[in-house]
Structure 1
């Protein structure tokens, strides 16, 4: 049974439970399997040798998640070919594709944790009460070590965009 962290965060001030470990800077990044589309799954090893900024959002169809994904899409151009930005949510892959098309988002890779919640449990961001992934940021170096992590304490708040981008730049 996966570890449960009760009252690890809140949603509009109400406590929520996160399933999985609380990862730290310096930890090895756990592997995961998520859907790129309905037929194709990817894992951490598919991005081997790259710096990975993983932006986790509960759903692209909410205001903060929309803004977070647009912001990292905008930042992507200045980060170089050795960096990949992955946006992970439990939205269905075709909903992610529709949202990206409508939003003009084309620099980040959207991945879905809808099938098994593998990412959510491995990274300690699966919200027990909603079966969504909690807003968080992970920067993983070329050797799959966690260089930066931000678990938000309130689901409706924005992450520290500048700190995440600086963590990516520090790895170059």
Structure 2
């Protein structure tokens, strides 16, 4: 799959899962160096927000925005995933009121399983997936130009729709 960064074309390692697919399982570490598995959120709506580098303005804004929008959601967990080190993520989170779960994909297993790994720059492509309570993908956006923001409103609307179905 092709994505661009400021107009320069890059290839990911594969094709990202589609709407209707079951989300591939994963096991990543959070800021406390604790294992976090997708199965930990079974029965909940999940927003998977992936971004190339927390130390850039667009990635920080994406994480901030989903952190804030996540507060509007009652039964949705936001998982923010990048290839940054735990130290880089901790530094970014120091001055924030972070509700989102920050996860680091240090060995790129998540990125590769989701077809989002960009080997040439060792980054994860910017994307958003919304999963229903059964772990099925109900919304998917792969941002073609990685310097652009994802469509926050569409992702949150998809999560709200899934939450409504839980009631």
Q: Distance in 2 between matches of 1:22 and 1:61?
A: 24
Gap regions ≥5 residues in structure 1:
none
Quick check: 2:55–2:88 contact (8 Å CA) kept in 1?
no
Q: Within 1, Cα distance between the matches of 2:39 and 2:83?
A: 20
Q: 2:98 aligns with which of 101, 106, 114?
A: 106
The 5 A counterparts of 1:1-150 are 5=1, 8-37=2-31, 39-80=33-74, 82-102=75-95, 104-114=96-106, 116-150=107-141
Unaligned runs of 5+ in 2: none
The number of equivalent residue pairs is 163
CA RMSD, 1 decimal: 1.3
In 1, are the aligned partners of 2:31 and 2:102 still within 8 Å (CA)?
no
Given that 1:70 and 1:105 are in contact with CA atoms closer than 8 Å, whether structure 2 keeps it comes out as no
Q: Tell me the TM-score normalized by structure 1.
A: 0.90
State the distance in 2 between where 1:37 and 1:110 align: 7
- 4+ residue stretches of structure 1 with deviation over 3 A? none
TM-score normalised by L of structure 2: 0.93
